[in-house]
Structure 1
Amino acid sequence: MLARLLILWLQHASLAVQAGCYLPDGTDRNARNDTIAGKTRYEPCSTGAGHSMCYNTKDGDTCVEDGLIYNPGGQLWRESCTDPTWQAPECLKVCYDDQLSPSLLADEGGKRMSSIDMTIEKCHDGTFCCGGHDYAQKNCCALGKGFSIVNRTASYSSSTASSTTSAIPSFTATLTTSTDHASSPTASAPSSMTGEPSPSPNKKSAIIGGSVGGVVGASILLAIVICLRKRYGKNRAGSQIWFDHETARQDPMKPAVELPSPAAELPSPESEQLSMRKHAAELPAFIERTELPAYRENQWSKVG
């Protein structure tokens, strides 16, 4: 019985040695100086098939179900994994990226996250942040940038993920919000427009008012033109009548219509008398007849 237990223990120890524990950059955690000096010793949390996270057996660490390691002093850690490539799903992929801010590098002694066991801070809202207590609370928890652990992977909320992406806004087209978003392209992308935009009620009123005003204005202008034409026609007719009357006054003997000039020879008294009677009959009624000169009467008396 004792021999059998010894064999099982040797198998377990052999498996632990063969598995190894590796940091995200591929470094063997047990080859570090602190382990060689006997201060630390890392072994897999699980001895079953597949890969597993590792814990420090010298400090009384405890493996937590989500892959974190809990230290008796109350500190959470992301430690090493049995897969040197860290591609296995059992490796807890949090706080292992070397894209660090200078302040976090200083907090960890200027070392890269992929080359060390990382301290993890739990925020008041239940999320986690990388770094020691003071740094994580100030620069991550207080800003709502913590992550949750889902299937051994860091899961960020949509607001946290958007804040960690590039500061260059995406473009949609308010063409909106514009951003709407354009929403066209939107910074967040403005949403694309569907159909022509309908005019607002104020624009509709302005269009209707303008149309009515245009019709009324055109009607008024047309009426003014008609009145002016009528007035011009009356003035022209009155001017013609006045001209004819004035001509008759100045020269009662001149007919309103110009007669053809008589023959070059002097007319006989008889023909002249007949012509004057005819002219007198054609003159308007209001024109006063004037006496013929005395020499005309003498001439006619001699003839008679």
Structure 2
Amino acid sequence: MSPALLWGILVYQWVTIHFSLVDASSQCYFPNGAEAEGWSACNPDADVSFCCSFQYDYTCYNNLLCQDGKGRVVRGACTDQSWTDPACPQYCQNYKLGGTDLIPCNNVTKDHISYCCDHAIDNCCDTGDGRFDVLPYPTSLIATWNPAASEYEVLPGASATASSTSPSLSSSSVSTTTTSSSTASTVSNSSNNDSGLSKGAQIGIGVGVAGGVLLAALLAYLLWRVHKMHEAVKQQHDLNSRTYPPSTMTDTDFSQSYPQPWQYKNTGISQATQAQLVAESELSTETRRYELHTTSR
């Protein structure tokens, strides 16, 4: 396996692990456990957070509810898939798929804390059947959507604390009201100091350690490959040296096998004949040289 291919595989695995961990920490769910697409945690750094929809420009409030620009109040989603954590909004959970509107009953109760679930019992606000209170009041904004970061940005010092009075289950003679209080985790930037590192920090540390281990393994492999390549080159060089020893013959050794021009003096041969013999001798010498080099290769 080539180093480039191995590097690509390691980078792909690191990216896959990183984004799967990030997605797992910020994924939102509806009360039926289905994934809430288009919803995001109001406090991305909290272990559990309620969620609002960025697609509809919702903002997050300290009563664990979402609100749009027209003042419409919505029970959103939660990062706890089981919805058992008190950081999840404890309202209208019978409406399990998707978010649901909360209908204000202030025209009847003359306050700003009484609500009914949308599509609830007929005349819920008038009769009180299914009506509940949402606290605290007055509400305050705790997070807004940050398009650049693709997540909700918690306002400095903001916190979420919700207290609700469950719907009244009244009949003609019996009216039972139970009160439950739920305190969500503080969503300020320092909310997790008392309980240690936040989930986001823990995930970041885990991803960093995993990435460091992968890079160290890649570096070790590359060093091993370089060492093996160096040994292979050295072995090939030694093999070539033993197979093709350098030639020790010189041009003088060949020239001695043929008569030189001065050897034709006083032999009774004409100058034209001598010139022809010298030319043939030089041509034969060049041919021998060429054949010798060819053979030595």
Structure ranking higher on relative contact order (CA contacts 8 Å, 6+ apart): 2
TM range (shorter): 0.3 to 0.5
Higher strand share: 2
TM-score by length of 1: 0.37
TM-score by length of 2: 0.38
